[in-house]
């Protein structure tokens, strides 16, 4: 969960003239919601419960309108394996992958299948947990010898993991607000860190370019692809779609969709909104309006 996003959102809501009550996620969440009875809940926490539909489900039951996507879209976004299957079935590009749960390794001898997977995906292979975010538990395995440790690391975050084809290319993010794609943001790693995954995700070692240096056609393609995924998953309010652009072919593919992306001042969505001329407070106001006009799914 993100306290920093929450604080930033709280400030904006106050500037917009709302009475704001911060509610932390914990064992007393349902009781607190009953007590506070907000007109609308602004969900600003990412990570497991805030993003996977759990908090959304509790808000549905309480009859409290909330920001962002509904329960089913959150579930589709939070599980990378499910999301990738949906995209592949719909013909939307996402890197090739194989996914397993712990049982496959513990009880079905899935380790025996690793050489065949490695042949098909080729090295390096990206190993990641099905859930989580912020690159937690993600490892690039350069050789067959690296795969077991990468799997163990990923399994420490989730009971389900995926092995994914590595895309040598640029890291792009398309944020969407109310079905409208914002300027593309590119994460540009320091040259010396390019092949060092850990360094790439160390604060301050990646810079962000917005709008990304792409041709107009490429920008339009990235935005169109992000909107296709947004529609496929049934997202609402706002979201951020993480893409890769293959250096060799220029092809775009989707890594994941974040139903509750970071909302700090340095987060990618606020950066993209700013580039589109939408200030932070305006963004927050729009998201609240959308929440209030969203149909309840309960
Ligand atoms: N298949 C891949 N090929 C190349 N880089 C990848 C791949 N998968 C993930 N990455 C790198 O790891 C980052 C995080 O991966 P992502 O799937 O978006 O998970 P998270 O939920 O942690 O953000 C990406 O932004 C990208 O830089
Ligand atoms: Mg991501």
pLDDT in tens, 3-34: 567 889 999 999 999 999 999 888 899 999 99
Q: Which ligand is nearest to the CA of 239?
A: 2
Residue 203's pLDDT band (cuts 50, 70, 90): low
Distance 118 CA to ligand 1 centre (A): 18
Cβ contact 23:36 at 8 Å: yes
Q: How far is the CA of 234 from the centre of ligand 1 (A)?
A: 22
pTM over 0.75: yes
Could you tell me the distance, in angstroms and rounded to a whole number, from the CA of residue 70 to the centre of ligand 1? 24
Q: Out of 133, 166, 255, give the residue to mutate to test ligand 1, the one with the largest number of ligand atoms within 8 Å of its CB.
A: 255
Identify the band that residue 129 occupies on the pLDDT scale cut at 50, 70 and 90. Answer: very high
Listed ranges 42-51, 104-113, 182-191, 246-255; the one with the highest mean pLDDT: 246-255
Q: What pLDDT, in 10s, does the model give residues 136-195?
A: 889 999 999 999 999 999 999 999 999 999 999 999 999 999 999 999 999 987 765 555
98, 125, 135: residue to mutate for ligand 1 pocket, most atoms within 8 A of CB:
135
Q: Give the residue, out of 138, 164, 226, with the most ligand 1 atoms within 8 A of its beta carbon, to mutate for a pocket test.
A: 138
Encoded tokens for 94 = 């996402």
What pLDDT shows up at residue 200? 58
Nearest residue (by CA) to ligand 1, atom 22, is: 135
- Kindly identify the ligand whose nearest atom is closest to the C-alpha of 208: 1
Residue 275 tokens, joined: 């580039």
Q: How far, in Å, from the CA of 35 to the mean position of ligand 1? A: 40
Ligand 1 site residues (CB inside 6 A) read 95, 126, 133-135, 138, 164-167, 171, 242, 244, 255-256
- Distance from CA of residue 248 to its chain's centroid? 25
H-run or E-run covering 88: helix 80-89
49 closest CA partner among 39, 40, 58, 37: 58
In 10 A of CB 23, how many CB atoms? Answer: 18
Stated as kind and residue range, the H or E segment containing 209 is strand 206-209
pLDDT at 296: 62
Nearest residue (by CA) to ligand 1, atom 24, is 171
DSSP 3-state of 98: strand
What confidence score (pLDDT) does residue 136 get?
Answer: 80
């Amino acid at each position: 969960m993100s306290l920093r996003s929450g604080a930033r959102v709280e400030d904006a809501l106050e500037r917009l003239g709302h009475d704001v009550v911060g509610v932390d996620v914990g064992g007393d969440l349902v009781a607190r919601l009953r007590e506070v009875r907000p007109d609308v809940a602004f969900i600003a926490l990412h990570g497991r419960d805030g993003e996977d539909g759990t908090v959304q489900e509790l808000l549905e039951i309480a009859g409290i309108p909330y920001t962002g996507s509904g329960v089913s879209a959150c579930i589709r976004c939070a599980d990378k394996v499910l999301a990738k299957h949906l995209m592949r079935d719909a013909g939307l590009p996402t890197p090739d992958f194989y996914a397993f749960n712990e049982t496959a390794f513990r009880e079905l001898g899935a380790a025996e299948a690793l050489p065949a997977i490695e042949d098909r995906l080729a090295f390096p292979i990206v190993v990641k947990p099905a859930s989580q975010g912020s690159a937690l538990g993600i490892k690039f395995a350069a050789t067959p010898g690296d795969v077991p440790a990468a799997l163990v690391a990923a399994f420490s975050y989730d009971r389900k993991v995926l092995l994914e084809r590595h895309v040598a290319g640029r890291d792009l993010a398309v944020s969407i607000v109310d079905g409208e794609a914002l300027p593309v943001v590119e994460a540009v790693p320091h040259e010396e860190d390019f092949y060092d995954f850990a360094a790439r995700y160390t604060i301050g070692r990646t810079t962000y370019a917005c709008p990304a240096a792409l041709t107009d056609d490429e920008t339009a393609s990235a935005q169109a692809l992000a909107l296709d995924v947004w529609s496929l998953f049934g997202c609402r309010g706002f979201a951020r779609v993480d893409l890769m652009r293959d250096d060799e072919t220029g092809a775009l593919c989707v890594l994941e969709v974040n139903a509750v992306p970071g909302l700090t001042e340095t987060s990618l969505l606020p950066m993209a909104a700013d580039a589109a001329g939408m200030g932070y407070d305006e963004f927050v106001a729009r998201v609240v309006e959308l929440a209030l006009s969203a149909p309840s799914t309960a």
